[in-house]
Structure 1
Amino acid sequence: MNIDWAALGSVFGVSLLATVGLVGLFTLGIVGLAKGETAGTVAQGADGSVRTGGSVALARAGAYACFALCAAAVAYGIYMIVA
């Protein structure tokens, strides 16, 4: 039995990068949704100023884009396995 260690290492490296990338992208989506929920709240600053959290629509759109990219990557992976 002869093992091609270079090919095995290449597959391991690509799998590791794809996994870390997808988990990171999904995490950004979750953070975007969490920011979208708290973006509408008003916070009182230490100096008495009133601050808002930002745009709810922008945070939600970014989160949905991250989730769509995750779904596209998973669909492409399934396509590659089946084809």
Structure 2
Amino acid sequence: MQLDWTALGEVAAVSTGVTIGVVVVFALGVLGLARVEAAREGDAGTDAVGLGVAGLCFLACAAVVAYGIYLIVPQFH
């Protein structure tokens, strides 16, 4: 049995990169929600911007998760 170490390294690198990317995008979504809360407590200047950023970030995370499920489940192909 032969192992293609280059392909294994590529898969590991892409998996690590995507994981870090999803975590960063999710953290930006949480930051957007925190800005919404801060705007409600104090000055209401960044309320809509924070909510928009949070929505886009969480939507991007959901899209990545849905794509991963699509790749794993063979009935979807």
* TM-score computed with the length of structure 2 as normaliser: 0.86
Larger Rg: 1
1:1-83 equivalences under 5 Å are 1-42=1-42, 52=43, 54-82=45-73, 83=77
Provide the secondary structure at the position in 1 that maps to 2:23.
Answer: helix
Which string of whole-angstrom CA distances, capped at 9 and with x for unpartnered residues, describes residues 19-66 of structure 1?
A: 000000000000100011102344xxxxxxxxx473201111110110
Which string of whole-angstrom CA distances, capped at 9 and with x for unpartnered residues, describes residues 5-24 of structure 1?
A: 00000000100010000000
Which structure shows the bigger proportion of residues in strand conformation? Answer: 1
- Aligned-CA RMSD value: 1.4
Which structure shows the bigger proportion of residues in helix conformation? Answer: 2
Provide the secondary structure at the position in 1 that maps to 2:45.
Answer: coil
Aligned length: 74
Identity of aligned residues (%): 49
* TM-score computed with the length of structure 1 as normaliser: 0.81
